[in-house]
Amino acid sequence: MCGISGIYNLDGSKVSKEVLMTFNDSMTHRGPDDFGIHLLDKETLGLAQRRLSILDLSPQGHQPMSYEDGRFVITYNGEIFNFQDIKDSLIAKGHAFYTNSDTEVILVAYLEWGPLCLKKFNGMWAFAIWDNLNKELFLARDRFGIKPLYYKNDINKRFVFASETRAFKYLKDFNREIDEIKLHHNMIDPYALEGLGHTIYKDIFQLLPGHYMIVKRNENVSQRRWWSIDDCHPDVPKTFDQQAEKFYELFRDACRLRLVSDVPIATALSGGLDSTAVYSTVFDILKTESLGRVNKDAQRAFTATFKGLPNDERAYAQKAAEYTGGPIEFLESSDYELAARIERDTKLADFINVSPISSIASVYEGMKKNGITVSLDGHGVDEMLYGYRDMVYGLYNDALWNGGLKEAKSYGDVLAELYHPNHKMDFVSKSQIQLSDKAKRESGLKYKFKKIIGKTVPNDIYLPIDLPVLSDKPYDFSLKSVDQRMVYYEFFQHTLPTLLRNFDRAGMMNSIEIRMPFMDWRLVAYVFSLPVASKIGNGFTKLILREAMKGKMDESLRSRTFKVGIGSPIEYWMNGPLKDWTLDNTSDASIKLRLENEFKSGKVSTQLVREAWQAINLQLISG
């Protein structure tokens, strides 16, 4: 796990080693253990890396790494979890290896299979390989974009890439500027840009998930899709019990693969269903299986707590730990130097977010202080198994107008369980009226006629925004049913890409690698092949996961429905310990005046908190 960067002067001029060093060292937090620079192709190309040592801690794991007498040189960020199996198959083909790293496996696989090697990898990655024979730079990113790769392409002049947008602030001869159109989209919807490969900065783009690109002098650079969810058609058992059994088999193996490490591992445990499933499964694997290259001390859990606040999940995390009997560390949230931490974390994150990243960053900061380098997290489940209340509300609303009464009631039952107990009955009362009205509509002749000619109310909330398309084969989910379109959209284009970015920054700013068993591509492909009825129903979201974990984790957590989340309590902060800081750091005169007026009346509203934070957020990263 690392920070990578590169400068390729396509006009034939030499790369300055000092310029590349400055560019690369802006990401020291991503790799504090080692660094390397390699000038190639008559010094017109420079590859660099900051290393966080995970596999093969020896100097042999140093990057950039070369192979076949220097023909191939790689700078790489990520982990290929099945590298040992690939290595064995390459040895059988006659290839030699000189390190114990997965980096060398990528190089040899590329030599053997070219770009097709990507389909053999199970992991998370962003890397660049220079081929000195063909004089081309090959860049690739994992299927879901777990690891980042940003680039700037000055056609026929210079191509530059890095693991973070922040690095471009330190790039000589480039004035990084905010793109006002993209900023506007981001302010309206903080999840709008990431899945499309855009950033809020002019001329800085992302290599999209599941894509690669080849950079060569005097040739156009374009992104080419190498993996698509639409090409995956795994076998799905017929019965729900069999489906759950296969789900657990895939999930357990995904956890097992992600335990391979030469450094200490722990679990970021919230006490919710997803992270508890990871923690409980990892604990059982370590207790019952004989494993090879695995850190045996991987049973520890770390939980962020917010004493007295609604998002404190200490009690739930404690239950998860009591079930396994494993050790748990509670990381107490503190108002001490809160403003300074938010400013530091926001500048390092370098994006506009709905709230400060500091709460999630504090978990990984606490891990690092306790000697941990790798965290196992539960990300990816909500987006593919209807885990968010807004998703279920969308299903419920569509069923009210376009589905049957039984379907609408089923989704309504699930939705009711996602509300806080104090608000549940309000929704139930509202739903009863809506369902009664639906029953009356369905009995009317006019409604029956509309059902024949088409949907009663259009339901297409997933409209594209007007930005250049970067992929040669962009995803198009418009022809899928509403229930399918929702999970495809949230997982591949909207919410999840942004959350992956957030957690990458939160972990790496503290030199912590985050591994996500639910993001194993085999498991994802399987889940997207399941019928909707296996994902949501009987009063529950994430139905298949709950069934798969029956008898394998604390029962109260397995059946827990109300979701809290680990977002920063920005509303509490701005109305409490950050009140003065908020006023002092709000440069927008209109927002500041509204803040002063609402502070006088007692409390700043949720909407104004969001506006004030976005303004401060933008100010911090623009400096």
pLDDT digits (tens, 9 = 90+) for 167-224: 999 999 999 999 999 999 999 999 999 999 999 999 999 999 999 999 999 999 999 9
Structure-derived torsion over alpha carbons of residues 433, 434, 436, 441, reported in degrees to the nearest 10: 140
Q: Determine the residue type at 144.
A: F
- Strands 374-376 vs 265-268: parallel, antiparallel or unpaired: parallel
How many Å apart are CA 4 and CA 6, to the nearest integer? 7
* Strands across the sheet containing 158-162: 34-40, 45-51, 2-9, 158-162, 150-154, 205-206
How many Å apart are CA 541 and CA 538, to the nearest integer? 9
307 backbone dihedrals φ, ψ, rounded to 5°:
-55, 125
pTM confidence score? 0.94
Collapsing DSSP to helix, strand or coil, 601 comes out as helix
How many Å apart are CA 185 and CA 181, to the nearest integer? 7
How many Å apart are CA 552 and CA 306, to the nearest integer? 28
Task: Write the pLDDT tens digit of every residue in 95-107.
Answer: 999 999 999 999 9
Half-sphere exposure of 134 (CA within 13 A, CB side): 13
Residue with token string 């209807």 = 386
What DSSP state is assigned to residue 202?
A: T
How many Å apart are CA 381 and CA 391, to the nearest integer? 13
Q: Determine the pLDDT at residue 461.
A: 53
What would be the CATH architecture of the domain defined by 2-227?
4-Layer Sandwich (3.60)
CA angle 18, 22, 27 (to 5 degrees): 145
Q: Would you say 360 and 191 are in contact if contact means Cβ atoms under 8 Å apart? A: no
C-alpha 80: how far from its chain's center?
17
How many Å apart are CA 437 and CA 99, to the nearest integer? 68
Residues 6+ apart with CB under 8 A from 479: none
| Residue in 469, 505, 494 with CA at minimum distance from that of residue 147 | 505
CATH number of the structural domain 242-378+502-519: 3.40.50.620
Q: Determine the pLDDT at residue 456.
A: 46
Q: Would you say 25 and 2 are in contact if contact means Cβ atoms under 8 Å apart? A: no
How many Å apart are CA 317 and CA 69, to the nearest integer? 52
Burial of 132: CB neighbours in 10 Å, binned 0-12, 13-18, 19+: middle
The residues spanned by each domain of the chain are 2-227, 242-378+502-519, 570-622
Q: Which residues of 174-201 are buried (b: 16+ CB within 10 A; e: fewer)?
A: bebebbeebbebbbeebbbbbbbbbbbb
**Parts of the chain with a pLDDT under 50:** 449, 451-454, 456-458
